[in-house]
Amino acid sequence: AVGSGSIGVRLCSTVEEVAEHTTYLLSEKHTWRSSPRILVEEFVQGPHYIAQIMGNEVIAIAAADYGPPPHFVFHSGIQPAPLTDDEYKRIADVSLSCLRVLGLGWGPTNIELRWTKLGPVVIEVNPRLLGGTGPQLVQLAYGVDLITEHIKLVVGDEWDLRERHSHIVAVRVLVPDRDGILDWIDGDSRAAAVPGVAEVKLCVEPNMPIVRKGDYRDRMGHVIAASPDRARTEAILQRAVDLISWSISPFPTW
């Protein structure tokens, strides 16, 4: 019930798995032990979308992809999401109805949803800016700096949410496939030099221990690409990601 970045979030298929994971969450091994409550919710299948809202205006809807279950580790995202007009409207309508029901709508909000056979189903409503690269993707896609506009709102100035341009922006998170010691990681400078790459950022260094936790802390870095065309953006991103490589050695057994 307390946490962020998917820490402690796990897909459980049986009552026994729920009991086992609950025991872990309430144990001293788990990082977020500040709340004695456990949130159990239905797992809904379908594409994942994130609506970013300022006040009562939907600024952007992004698509997000996650790694394999049972964890929910963010792997990639694209802004704007490839939606039909009807899908966009239904996601926007559900998102704004959440604000009305919860009495929100003053400043920034991000709402996560999945598109199911019944349409959009709300996963989270967060009365804050989206974390990580969220605001950066919006700025690259539309030229709207949500952080600056939020500050304007706080200090009593008038904000400006008008789009300056329209680009397709995609992000890929670099995630390890094993635990161990990071021998080396290379190619970030070559990736950053690819035309259309907006950012390459690494958050690990050689000789660091890599221990996957099944949440946002697994990330080793990210690559962001932007262009006016979706296929071009995806090609730029893939080319840049392919230039980055690393080596992880198993932990010593002694």
pLDDT score at 181: 97
Same domain for 52 and 150, yes or no, is yes
Range of 92's domain? Answer: 44-133+141-155
Classify residue 161: in a domain, yes or no: no
Q: Does 33 have pLDDT greater than 70?
A: no
Same domain for 211 and 119, yes or no, is no
Give the percent of the chain with pLDDT over 70.
97
Q: What is the pLDDT of residues 37-56, one digit of tens each?
A: 889 999 999 999 999 999 99
Give the percent of the chain with pLDDT over 90.
87
pLDDT score at 1: 79
pLDDT score at 124: 93
Classify residue 241: in a domain, yes or no: yes
Classify residue 181: in a domain, yes or no: yes
Same domain for 117 and 203, yes or no, is no
Classify residue 87: in a domain, yes or no: yes
Classify residue 254: in a domain, yes or no: no
pLDDT score at 37: 84
**Helices 146-155 and 134-142: crossing angle, nearest 10°?**
100
Q: Does 34 have pLDDT greater than 90?
A: no
d(CA 40, CA 201) in angstroms, rounded, equals 35
CA nearest neighbour of 92 among 124, 58, 118: 58
Same domain for 20 and 63, yes or no, is no
Classify residue 1: in a domain, yes or no: yes
Cα dist from 51 to 18, 68, 128, whole Å: 30, 23, 12
Same domain for 108 and 201, yes or no, is no
Sheet holding 57-66, edge to edge: 119-126, 108-116, 48-54, 57-66, 74-79, 168-174, 221-227, 197-202
**Count of the separate structural domains present in the chain:** 3
Classify residue 160: in a domain, yes or no: no
Same domain for 54 and 101, yes or no, is yes
Could you give the residue numbers annotated as active site?
128
Q: Does 251 have pLDDT greater than 90?
A: yes
Q: What is the pLDDT of residues 117-141, one digit of tens each?
A: 999 999 999 999 998 899 999 999 9
Per-residue pLDDT band at 63 (split at 50, 70, 90): very high
CATH of the domain at 176: 3.30.470.20
pTM: 0.93
Same domain for 62 and 19, yes or no, is no
Same domain for 104 and 127, yes or no, is yes
pLDDT score at 32: 58
Classify residue 59: in a domain, yes or no: yes
Same domain for 175 and 95, yes or no, is no
Average pLDDT rounded to a whole number, residues 135-158: 96
pLDDT score at 35: 66
| Residue 171 · residue 135 · CB < 8 Å | no
Lookup: tokens for 249: 């050695």
Q: What is the pLDDT of residues 169-224, one digit of tens each?
A: 999 999 999 999 999 999 999 999 999 999 999 999 999 999 999 999 999 999 99
Same domain for 79 and 100, yes or no, is yes
Q: Does 36 have pLDDT greater than 80?
A: no
Same domain for 104 and 120, yes or no, is yes
